[in-house]
Amino acid sequence: MRFNHVANRLDAQHFETIVEMLTTQLGFVTLRRTARSIWLRQPGTNIDLQFSRSETTHRDPDKLRSQVAFLDDDPRAALERLAEWLAARGIEASVGSYSDREFYLDAPAAFVDFVIEAMLPELADYGVDV
């Protein structure tokens, strides 16, 4: 088997706003779209994201352990810009930290089972050639 994509859930009410954030703020392009889901890819990467619309009324209390992760030289600032972008569209979002090198953005009304993580690039230097 070969790895293809990772799927997470977005609240149906905020689905289009989060897709807009990913495409306009982070440069993702749409690969495929159905009435219920969308597949996205950020140019220059080889990992696809699928997001499905969800009507769930509860959120996973441990969702901080499930991330869509990004690398950035200033991860906190990058996430704070996204939080401001979301707030301007009426979606409450907050930035927290796992450490002084790893941060996360949560938008509880929109993200059902994950948060967006940003970390310093050095944390992804695993020393493994693939």
Residues 45-78: tens digit of each pLDDT: 988 999 999 998 777 778 888 999 999 999 999 9
Q: Residues 84-112: what's their mean pLDDT? A: 97
Q: Residues 65-94: what's their mean pLDDT? A: 97
Q: Which tokens is 72 given?
A: 């950035």
Could you tell me which of 54, 59, 81, 61 has the C-alpha nearest to residue 70? 81
Domain 5-124: CATH architecture, name and number where available: Roll (3.10)
pLDDT of residue 2 exceeding 90, the answer is: no
Kind of pairing, strands 29-33 and 94-97?
unpaired
Domain boundaries, the chain: 5-124
Instruction: Supply the pLDDT for residue 79.
Output: 98
Q: Residues 82-108: what's their mean pLDDT? A: 97
Check: CB of residue 93 under 8 Å from CB of residue 86: yes
Give the pTM.
0.92
Q: What is the pLDDT of residues 5-43, one digit of tens each?
A: 999 999 999 999 999 999 999 999 999 999 999 999 999
Distances (CA, A) of 111 to 6, 12, 54, 107: 15, 10, 10, 6
Check: CB of residue 120 under 8 Å from CB of residue 46: no
| b/e sequence 51-80, b meaning 16+ C-beta within 10 Å | bebbeeeebeeebeeebbbbeeeebbebbb
End-to-end CA distance of the chain: 16
Instruction: Supply the pLDDT for residue 38.
Output: 98
